[in-house]
């Protein structure tokens, strides 16, 4: 179902009147994790002012260490939905367990994180709902594996899948992951599904986010997901890669020009 040969036209997913895929360019922005009411509402207003179309924020966080901040869970989702109401921005947030699905009723796009890309039972459950799924590429997964995971969702009847390249593990250790730019034109060839890029988790370092974002646009991405925090030094998760609202505003001015050019 994901194969371009079966479906030559680009899939366009309409989320609250915002089109993803088929030549539109959309930016999802917000903090790694929802931390406080002040933090999420302030960042939501900032990214909206700069032109983001969607607000992101994690409430269930897949952390490497069980002692690291795990997210605010249900309370975090409530704060995210308050920020949605205040700004009108549709929201994107990660699900880690199918058991939590009833909490996601008012979430506009459900994210499956890199670490759950091959959680096939979760994918099957998400295939049975009518909501767009943002499926992130696993840390060490091939494009065909990513597409098979999309297939798990689509096989159940939910064809609203957005793919996300977020960097893969390589031998290089100077940055968090290696953004696989080649994945963009190859995925666009193999599939009709929209492909967005998350340069924040690829880079792991703030200064690299903008150049990688530009490379993603030049390579044909349908959108970007960018981490933004109003006080990155104090962030409970991924502060080093989070842009300040000022940096995000600068990035968005360049995104506008680049998206017009390419």
Site residues, Mn ion (CB under 5 A): 32, 238
CB of 58 to ligand PEP, least distance (A): 5
Closest-CA residue to 107 (of 73, 77, 86, 135):
77
Distance from C-alpha of 213 to C-alpha of 198, rounded to nearest angstrom: 8
CB of 237 to Mn ion, least distance (A): 6
**Is 258 in contact with 218 (CB distance < 8 Å)?**
yes
Q: Does 21 bind ligand PEP (CB under 6 A)?
A: no
Q: Does 32 bind ligand PEP (CB under 6 A)?
A: yes
Query: Segment contacting ligand PEP (CB under 6 A): 80-88, 107-115, 179-187, 245-253?
Result: 107-115
Q: How far is CA 24 from CA 17, 21, 98, 102, 128, in A?
A: 12, 6, 31, 31, 27
Q: Does 166 bind ligand PEP (CB under 6 A)?
A: yes
Helix (H) or strand (E) holding 188: helix 183-190
- The residue whose two tokens read 């269930």 is 60
Q: Which residue has the closest beta carbon to ligand PEP?
A: 113
Is 1 or 115 the residue whose CB approaches ligand PEP more closely?
115
159 binds, among ligand PEP, Mn ion, none (CB under 5 to 8 A by kind): none
Q: Which residue has the closest beta carbon to Mn ion?
A: 32
**Is 154 in contact with 147 (CB distance < 8 Å)?**
no
Q: Does 31 bind ligand PEP (CB under 6 A)?
A: no
Site for ligand PEP in 117-156 (CB under 6 A): 136
**Is 128 in contact with 156 (CB distance < 8 Å)?**
yes
Count other Cβ atoms within 10 Å, centred on residue 5: 8
Site for ligand PEP in 176-235 (CB under 6 A): 201
Query: Segment contacting ligand PEP (CB under 6 A): 11-19, 34-42, 110-118, 119-127?
Result: 110-118
Backbone angles phi, psi at 27, to 5 degrees: -120, 130
User: Applying CB under 6 A, which residues contact ligand PEP?
Assistant: 32, 58, 62, 113-115, 136, 166, 201
């Amino acid at each position: 179902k994901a194969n371009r040969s079966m479906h030559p036209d680009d899939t366009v997913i309409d989320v609250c009147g915002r089109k993803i895929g088929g030549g539109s360019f959309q930016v999802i922005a917000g903090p790694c994790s929802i931390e406080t009411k002040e933090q999420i509402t302030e960042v939501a207003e900032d990214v909206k002012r700069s032109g983001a179309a969607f607000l992101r924020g994690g409430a269930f966080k897949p952390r490497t260490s069980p002692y690291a901040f795990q997210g605010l869970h249900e309370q975090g989702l409530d704060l995210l939905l308050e920020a949605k109401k205040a700004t009108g921005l549709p929201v994107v947030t990660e699900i880690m367990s199918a058991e939590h699905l009833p909490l996601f009723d008012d979430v506009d796009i459900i994210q499956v994180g890199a670490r759950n890309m091959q959680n096939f039972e979760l994918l099957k459950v998400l295939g049975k709902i009518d909501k767009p799924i943002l499926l992130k590429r696993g840390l060490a997964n091939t494009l065909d594996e990513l597409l098979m995971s999309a297939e798990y969702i689509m096989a159940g009847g939910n064809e609203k899948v957005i793919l996300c390249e977020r960097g893969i593990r390589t031998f290089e250790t100077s940055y968090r992951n290696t953004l696989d730019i080649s994945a963009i034109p190859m995925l666009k060839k193999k599939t009709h599904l929209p492909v967005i890029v998350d340069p924040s988790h690829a880079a792991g370092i703030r200064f690299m986010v903008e150049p990688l974002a530009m490379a993603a646009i030049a390579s044909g991405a349908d959108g970007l997901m960018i981490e933004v925090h109003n006080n990155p030094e104090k962030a409970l998760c991924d502060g080093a890669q989070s842009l300040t609202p000022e940096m995000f505003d600068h990035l968005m001015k360049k995104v506008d020009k680049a998206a017009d050019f390419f």
